[in-house]
Amino acid sequence: MATSAMSEKRVVLLCGDYAEDYEVMVPFQALLAYGISVDAVCPGKKAGETCRTAIHQLSGHQTYTEIRGHNFTLNASFEDIDHTKYDGLVIAGGRAPEYLAMDAFVLNMVRNFVNSGKPVASICHGQLILAAAGAVGGLKCTGFPAVGPTLIAAGALWIEPDTLAACVVDGNIITAATYIGHPEFIRLFVKALGGTISKSNKRILFLCGDYMEDYEVTVPFQSLQALGCHVDAVCPKKKAGDLCPTAVHDFEGDQTYSEKPGHDFTLTANFEDIDASSYDALVIPGGRAPEYLALDGKVIDIAKHFMESEKPVASICHGQQILAAAGVLKGKKCTAYPAVKLNVVLAGATWLEPEPIDRCFTHGNLVTGAAWPGHPEFISQLMDLLGI
């Protein structure tokens, strides 16, 4: 597999309640997709327990807004972490670092990673923990602008972020301003772990729409950008710079998933100007958007172009509603969110049961997944088709 070179690497992802939603899940699933083992932990919690996350974004006010995000499931227990058995550390931002910076066990773990010379990547407000651990003295670092005074007081050589995508490297410490900078932040961390990215000069198109699932657009989008791919996101009747509101879909004890508002996703290209033949692959996020995108003739034409040209197509969750409407699933083996099974079967495909829900499948040029927990397989299988 394309990810085998990193398969022996292990890293820790430090989480906490109300860590920023993207700043937990994007690096977590991107690194897993690249073949790196990631243990996500939170003090006082064990594997299988959850951290509630927060969605932070600038919405025209004097500071960022906050709403509830997904529930993030930890896969390791904090008390079991031994830094000598890991190759690096990632510190998520959001509000969690405010209280994690007061936890002596957290600070001791962070110092151990820093002093060992292993890569430590911290984003947004995560740098509060580095400051509390005494790890930034004399080091160049950036962060969310509001963190600047604290870092300066801790002796850091503060680099004011010229954009919220800014990243800075000094020694074994990688810092970033916000999740907007994830592609560079993740790429720098992979490089620090000894990873090499090759054959990544691919052009990839995302078919987006209002209320697509928040994770299902941004996790693969930023994961592919981190690999050096040129990624364009388009939506009918919208242009580059326009926003698509997203939806947070999660299971919280009801008979079906709940929906909450997600981040606003910024499109990168004009839908009307798209030349599908100039792209190497197509990605279709899920959520509620595919219900209405499947009624758009140009969307259907784009899906047909990629499938008939046998270029890689990766579709997840409800995204397969578009492929079913395009009539391109006949003879294909694929999965989808279970409620979309009817669409898939009526379109002439052979249904593959997503058991467990993170299972993904490749049949010819088509990668399909059932839901966002499957992103690591989903992205990795697309990487294989692209030869990255």
For the annotated catalytic residues, the residue numbers are 124-125, 317-318
Spatial separation of the C-alpha atoms in residues 361 and 348, rounded to whole Å: 17
Spatial separation of the C-alpha atoms in residues 31 and 283, rounded to whole Å: 19
Beta bridge pairs of residue 140: 157
Spatial separation of the C-alpha atoms in residues 228 and 233, rounded to whole Å: 15
| Amino acid residing at 77 | S
- Tell me the DSSP string of 59-126: -SSSS-EEEEEEEEEP-S-GGG--GGG-SEEEE--BSHHHHHTT-HHHHHHHHHHHHHT--EEEEGGG
Beta bridge pairs of residue 333: 350
DSSP character at residue 108: H
Gyration radius of the chain's alpha carbons: 20
Give, in degrees to the nearest 5, the angle at Cα 183 between 240 and 67: 75
Say how many C-beta atoms besides its own lie within 10 A of residue 58's C-beta: 13
Task: Give the helix/strand (H/E) hosting 31.
Answer: helix 21-33
Alpha-carbon distances of 118 from 12, 113, 250, rounded to whole Å: 11, 6, 35
Structure tokens at 357: 């829900």
Beta bridge pairs of residue 45: none
Render the burial of 67-78: b for 16+ CB within 10 Å, e for the rest: eebbbbebebbb
Alpha-carbon distances of 351 from 244, 271, 317, 332, rounded to whole Å: 31, 31, 13, 9
Alpha-carbon distances of 145 from 127, 159, 317, rounded to whole Å: 11, 9, 37
Alpha-carbon dihedral sign for residues 116, 118, 119, 124: negative
Task: Give the helix/strand (H/E) hosting 266.
Answer: strand 258-266
Give, in degrees to the nearest 5, the angle at Cα 334 between 329 and 272: 50
